[in-house]
Structure 1
Amino acid sequence: MHATDLDVARIERATRLIAPVFLRSPQFFEEQLCSALGRRVLTKVETLNPLRSFKGRGVDLLAREFSPGTDLVCSSTGNFGQAMGYAATRHGMSAHVFVPTGTNPVKMRRMVAMGARVHEVEGDRFKQEARRFADQDPNRVFVEDGEHPRVAEGAGTIGVELLETEGIDTIVLPVGDGALITGVARWTKEHAPHIRVVGVCATGAASMVDSWKAGRAVSTEVADTFAEGIAINRPIAASVERMRVLVDDMVVVGDADMLDAMRLVLETVGVLPEPAGAAGIAALRVHDLPGATVATVITGANAPTALFPDVLTLGTSTSQSVS
């Protein structure tokens, strides 16, 4: 019923292969957060690693399939590019990351620090330019986040860890290119099929929601959201196909909802997520999702510093809800 090209045996094996620094991230019930959201919320924090995001799991697993000396090439808005730089350096390869001009400067600096060679491209042609660059040399391999099954299977190790906590009714996850939710859902539907898996997109970048509903990749002209980690306007067909099989529901949240969720997570959990990283919390705050006990993941903490003043200006609804 839930068969896809994602393999549960490979997900299990990934728990032993992926660099330990990305595994066993903390997950716990934070009581003030649970009170604010009106239910038991298992929160998994995927930001306490060298990348400040979950992306290292899938890319570290993928990198093992290539020989030392390979040039890995990708397009990214930041976190995937960091992971590529880190994994390439660790496994004796190089990484070229193509990004749109104006990419979050925090992520830009961190990609370079991780060893990636960053190429800025005007407009929205950065993915096409990455592919063109990869095609120029047989030693270069283009890797697309959300397409290669190893990336999703690496992310699926998060599902292995979540299910170690019993009693979960629903898992709520941010959706960018879909690697995280499909990997986690593949493991979950195999081992606890009663758990509902719900994806969250930005209101201004709802192409993955539209695609999931239509059963095919549906593109939009632009992605209008400050949450670059889920700012998708051209979904990957393979990822949409997996989501149609594995994901039970999809919802959207606005930028203001994510900003409010960032404040709430900072107040309660004590980490400052980036907007996409707080999308699951935002969905629990604004949607009547099912489940007395739910799980979500703080997926990234590379927020642009320009957002800090807005986050630190606490809204009255947030303060009252956790007082």
Structure 2
Amino acid sequence: MQGTRLDTARIRAARRIIDPVFLDTPLYRCEALEPDLGCAVSIKLETANPVRSFKARGTEMVASGLAETGARPVVCASAGNLGQALAWSGRGRGLDVTVVASRHAPAAKLARIRALDAGVELVDGDFDLARERAAAIARRDGIRLVEDSLDLETCEGAATIGLELVDTGPPFNIGPSFDAVLLALGGGALATGVGHVVKALAPDVEVICVQPLGAPAMTHSWRRRRVVTTDATNTIADGVAGRRPIPAVLNDLLLVADDAVLVREASIIAGMRLLLDHAGLVVEPSAALGVAAILEDRDRFAGRHVVTVVCGSNVDVDAYRRWVGAGRRRGEDSATSSPE
């Protein structure tokens, strides 16, 4: 694929480096969701691993490279999932991991990072402020800064999900039958990685990226074909709540995404509720974006076979109960109406 930073041969090689515990995650058609969504839906379950998200596919690549060179200290900024993944991968390879996060990040994510023996530094701001602080620490101490989505390891690690979607043969045989894949869009590692593989190996499959209306920077950037920043974010989907897209990542996204859509908070919550009620899955808001996109545009997906990547389940339990329980108590689901 011309002009992209990603390489399909390197992505195939990544499967030999990533711990098998993060590979070949479940992929199955979830018929129980289909009456509510009006289309065939398959789930790629990236929560069935020790860190409950897809991020470790990338951090396995990062940590392996650092261990080979003998480098020990490493720092990253994280909304929670990357930090947990880097802590897990680093602990197994003797790395000294520091994670910079917002003081407002979910407490459950911060607790798991600390439990994996990583240091945590909190900032009084959002993810983009944490990113600035992590970069400052790296400059000051002369250590490796892991930048999610900018570092190719994070994108090509995530891209191995795409191989599992489109490679035919056991145990995954649905590749030729689905015609769209819905990907959560934040910094862009998942979307560019999976999108690259899908477009390289199954070009007729539509790649659709999904962001919350309250964190639209990358979607606006994709639509305008230039970096668009925002002053703030306002969404429960903390895992995708960035304000400042990375130019190189946007360039990769422009090559592989067929569409980028924005969804409302009510639709995200409705998606979380459907995944709980009909798939038995407790997911964080970012992981419900694909279902939210179907809820908001049923006509677009009617009669189609769609794959959604359920990308994480690190969620604050109390917040989850409030979100999922509120609509059930009201006996309403406003997300099923057309978006404003």
TM-score if structure 2 supplies the norm length?
A: 0.90
Q: Structure 2 CA distance, aligned partners of 1:155 and 1:193?
A: 18
Distance of aligned partners of 1:207 and 1:304 in 2 relative to their CA distance in 1, 3 Å threshold: same
1:190-209 equivalences under 5 Å are: 190-209=200-219
Q: Structure 1 CA distance, aligned partners of 2:155 and 2:130?
A: 22
Q: Structure 2 CA distance, aligned partners of 1:68 and 1:105?
A: 32
Unpaired segments ≥5 residues, structure 1: none
Q: What does residue 149 of structure 1 align with?
A: 152
Q: Structure 1 CA distance, aligned partners of 2:115 and 2:23?
A: 22
Q: What does residue 178 of structure 1 align with?
A: 188
Within the candidate set 315, 319, 325, 1:303 is matched to 315
Q: What does residue 102 of structure 2 align with?
A: 100
Task: Answer whether contact 1:2 1:186 (CA < 8 A) is retained.
Answer: no
The code of the aligned residue for 1:99 comes to A
Q: What does residue 10 of structure 1 align with?
A: 10
Q: Alpha-carbon deviations, 1:217-273, whole Å to 9, x = none?
A: 211000111110011111111111100111110001111111110010001111110
Say which is worse superposed, 145-154 or 58-67, in terms of deviation: 58-67
Q: Structure 2 CA distance, aligned partners of 1:95 and 1:20?
A: 22
Q: Alpha-carbon deviations, 1:1-57, whole Å to 9, x = none?
A: 554110000111112221111111111111111222111111111111111111010
Q: Structure 1 CA distance, aligned partners of 2:260 and 2:51?
A: 27
Does residue 38 (structure 1) correspond to residue 41 (structure 2)? The answer is no
Q: Structure 2 CA distance, aligned partners of 1:238 and 1:306?
A: 37
C-alpha displacement of 1:314: 5.2
Q: Structure 2 CA distance, aligned partners of 1:69 and 1:130?
A: 17
C-alpha displacement of 1:185: 0.9
Q: What does residue 88 of structure 1 align with?
A: 90
Q: Structure 2 CA distance, aligned partners of 1:127 and 1:60?
A: 20
SS for the counterpart of 2:28 is: strand
Does residue 63 (structure 1) correspond to residue 49 (structure 2)? The answer is no
The code of the aligned residue for 2:147 comes to E
Q: Structure 1 CA distance, aligned partners of 2:293 and 2:118?
A: 33
The code of the aligned residue for 2:229 comes to S
SS for the counterpart of 1:17 is: coil
The code of the aligned residue for 1:6 comes to L
SS for the counterpart of 1:106 is: helix
Q: Structure 1 CA distance, aligned partners of 2:16 and 2:325?
A: 39
Task: Answer whether contact 1:223 1:231 (CA < 8 A) is retained.
Answer: yes
Task: Answer whether contact 2:17 2:64 (CA < 8 A) is retained.
Answer: no
Say which is worse superposed, 205-214 or 57-66, in terms of deviation: 57-66
Q: Structure 2 CA distance, aligned partners of 1:304 and 1:144?
A: 24
C-alpha displacement of 1:309: 3.3
SS for the counterpart of 1:297 is: strand
The code of the aligned residue for 1:59 comes to T
Q: Structure 2 CA distance, aligned partners of 1:98 and 1:289?
A: 40
Task: Answer whether contact 1:260 1:311 (CA < 8 A) is retained.
Answer: yes
Task: Answer whether contact 1:54 1:300 (CA < 8 A) is retained.
Answer: yes
Q: Alpha-carbon deviations, 1:87-135, whole Å to 9, x = none?
A: 1111221111111112100101011112221000112422211111111
Q: What does residue 216 of structure 1 align with?
A: 226
Q: Alpha-carbon deviations, 1:172-197, whole Å to 9, x = none?
A: 11011000011111111111111110
TM-score if structure 1 supplies the norm length?
A: 0.94
Does residue 159 (structure 1) correspond to residue 172 (structure 2)? The answer is no
Q: Structure 1 CA distance, aligned partners of 2:13 and 2:149?
A: 20
Q: What does residue 293 of structure 1 align with?
A: 305
Does residue 188 (structure 1) correspond to residue 198 (structure 2)? The answer is yes
The code of the aligned residue for 2:51 comes to L
Q: What does residue 247 of structure 2 align with?
A: 237
Q: Structure 2 CA distance, aligned partners of 1:2 and 1:155?
A: 20
Within the candidate set 275, 281, 289, 1:265 is matched to 275
Task: Answer whether contact 1:202 1:255 (CA < 8 A) is retained.
Answer: yes
Q: Structure 2 CA distance, aligned partners of 1:317 and 1:17?
A: 47
C-alpha displacement of 1:62: 2.1
Q: What does residue 130 of structure 1 align with?
A: 134
Q: Structure 1 CA distance, aligned partners of 2:270 and 2:116?
A: 30
The code of the aligned residue for 1:132 comes to A
Distance of aligned partners of 1:289 and 1:58 in 2 relative to their CA distance in 1, 3 Å threshold: farther
Task: Answer whether contact 1:2 1:189 (CA < 8 A) is retained.
Answer: no
The code of the aligned residue for 2:101 comes to V
Q: Structure 1 CA distance, aligned partners of 2:261 and 2:279?
A: 24
Identity of aligned residues (%): 37
The code of the aligned residue for 2:46 comes to E
Q: Alpha-carbon deviations, 1:251-301, whole Å to 9, x = none?
A: 011111111100100011111100011111111111244571111111110
